[in-house]
Amino acid sequence: ILEGLLGITPTGFHSFTVTPRLPEAWSEYRLRFTAFGGRGISIHVRRDEQQQVAVSVTASGAGGTSSYS
């Protein structure tokens, strides 16, 4: 489901790629992984006002929190 529907593909034990696939009827989705390579991962995919798809990823763990957009 994660790969086919949502476009999230594991690339190793501590990594993944996100190729967002947002169904037309959805304006956004959020995923939260509580144990991915020792970190918590939150992914937020949304469609903005111009109908562009935006992705934000936040990783948190012992080393702190990092955010990517």
Please report the pLDDT score of residue 68 as a whole number: 76
Give the predicted TM-score (pTM) of the model: 0.78
Q: What is the per-residue pLDDT for 1?
A: 60
CA angle 27, 35, 23 (to 5 degrees): 20
Residue segments in the chain with a per-residue pLDDT below the cut of 50: none
pLDDT of residue 37: 66
The residues, ordered by sequence, that sit 6+ positions from 67 with a Cβ below 8 Å of its Cβ are: 56, 57, 58, 59
For residue 27, the model assigns a pLDDT of: 93
Q: What is the pLDDT of residue 29?
A: 92
